[in-house]
Structures are given as C-alpha cells and as structure tokens.
Amino acid sequence: DSGVTQTPKHLITATGQRVTLRCSPRSGDLSVYWYQQSLDQGLQFLIQYYNGEERAKGNILERFSAQQFPDLHSELNLSSLELGDSALYFCASSLLAGDTDTQYFGPGTRLTVL
C-alpha cells in the first residue's frame, strides 16, 4: 500500500458527461501528479500540482482540469467525455516537486465511457 488513495475505483458513464476523480496524497507529500494509462498511448503525464499551485502541464486536454485543495487532496475533472477518454487514471504523490523525488502511485480509477 503506497499510502495514496483514489476514489472511486471504477467509474462508468456516458459520452458527454462530466466526472470528478479524487486523490489523497501520502501524509506529508506536497506534490500531486495525474497520469492517464490507455492501451494506445501508454502512461502519460497530465498535470502536476505542488502545495496548491499548478507546477507542470503535460498532455492534458482542454476538457480536463484539476486542482489541489488546501488539505492537499486533488481532484481531476473530466468533461464532455468521449469514448477515447476511457482509461486508467493514476494519481501519484511525492514529498516535494522536483526530479529528485520518488512518486508513489495510487491504485488508479478505471473510467469507462459508453
């Protein structure tokens, strides 16, 4: 158990809908990262937050947004969902923000868009 929690574990929804994925980092970690794992794209970095502020952006679609709250939990919002958004979404956390830190991953949220 990495100490990173993600809810829900599974999510099934329809095209055009909006969902929110939630992540709680390990105790003491200030950085939260979101990754998407799909069969065709593999594991791709979406976005990073550090102590409430956006730190880095990867291949995140404009329909997707995220935020990190004062208690350091993070939410990833996915809107106008398409079939291609079906994937496993991982949250990871690390103590600080840089390349020196190990990222510990949560169990993931499996999103199915029908």
Residues that bind other proteins (CB under 8 A): 2, 31, 33, 35, 42-45, 48, 55-56, 58, 88, 90, 92, 94, 97-108, 110
Instruction: CB nearer to other proteins: give 6 or 78.
Output: 6
Tokens of 23: 């992540």
Phi, psi for 77 (deg, rounded to 5): -105, 125
Instruction: CB nearer to other proteins: give 55 or 73.
Output: 55
From CA 96, how far away is CA 87, in angstroms rounded? 27
Tokens of 3: 């100490």
Instruction: CB nearer to other proteins: give 75 or 101.
Output: 101
